[in-house]
Structure 1
């Protein structure tokens, strides 16, 4: 029973880390990467569809993405979707390929993005602590139901705390790496 609680908690904490990684990927740095357009939606025959499902996204160079639509008539819609997204990008349509240059980040914008990244990391930490609280509540319920002894409950809480500490250290490492990436010129 304690192993189930611990396994469930670890799974949820790992999911929090994956969500943080996905959130960090949405924060734009000065470099281009193909995952940047994963969340940009294009109207594809009446349904919102992510750009990578209607076009191929490639790296032209370190600061430029190339988007080639699979259907030529979608080029204008893709260009409009990228321009209207909150990424602050200005695509240029050259007929068969849309070039999306990554503008250099100003120092002020880098600081703003650092604040956003810190906020995302804090949300991940809170999520992990909530998982710890839920796991500890489950252990207390097992103790109350006399399914486990007090020693087992204490040992289980210690293991859950170790899991929590491990995952929070991982969040801090991810935050440090993302901040370094943002502040690199």
Structure 2
């Protein structure tokens, strides 16, 4: 596998990570991904909420969380209440409902800033991958393992890949911004 292919692979993982980070940012709609970071104290062990409950979207602004084990509904509700979502869970028997409030303009702008920060983190990671790959190429040229022409060609390819990946992150950011600002 060439250095460029390795860099592409690492950059693709960075893009996926950025997408995951974006999925945790609230928009006006209910999205099960909002609950990804929440853990439930399940018989004394911190367990991801997905492992102890099914999550559904019965209405555009409502999430329903149904624990697989009815006796754990209280623990699931507590985990949701203590999370940083800022949404109060409503328990109806074994079903816990989370109703997403309408986002204010200020809140939307905060979320856009958050999305920009996550996009920038992704770009920084891509640039770090580029820098490490460039150092490897420069070292190989210096040590005589490859010719200067080949090194220059690889650097140009690396720059093309880096640009396309950062453009992809920018596109993801634009999409997320539109999603957030949509009323």
TM-score range, shorter chain: over 0.9
User: How many residues are aligned here?
Assistant: 183
Q: After superposition, where does 1:35-184 map in structure 2 within 5 Å? A: 35-184=33-182
Cα deviation for residue 142 of structure 1 reads 0.9
> CA–CA distance in 2 between the matches of 1:160 and 1:114?
30
Cα deviation for residue 39 of structure 1 reads 1.4
Cα deviation for residue 96 of structure 1 reads 2.1
How does the TM-score come out when normalised to structure 1? 0.96
> CA–CA distance in 1 between the matches of 2:118 and 2:64?
29
- Partner SS, residue 2 of structure 2: helix
Cα deviation for residue 77 of structure 1 reads 0.9
> CA–CA distance in 2 between the matches of 1:48 and 1:96?
20
How does the TM-score come out when normalised to structure 2? 0.97
Cα deviation for residue 36 of structure 1 reads 1.7
Question: Which runs of 5 or more structure 2 residues have no equivalent in the other structure?
Answer: none
Question: Which runs of 5 or more structure 1 residues have no equivalent in the other structure?
Answer: none
Runs of 4+ aligned residues of structure 1 deviating over 2 Å after TM superposition are none
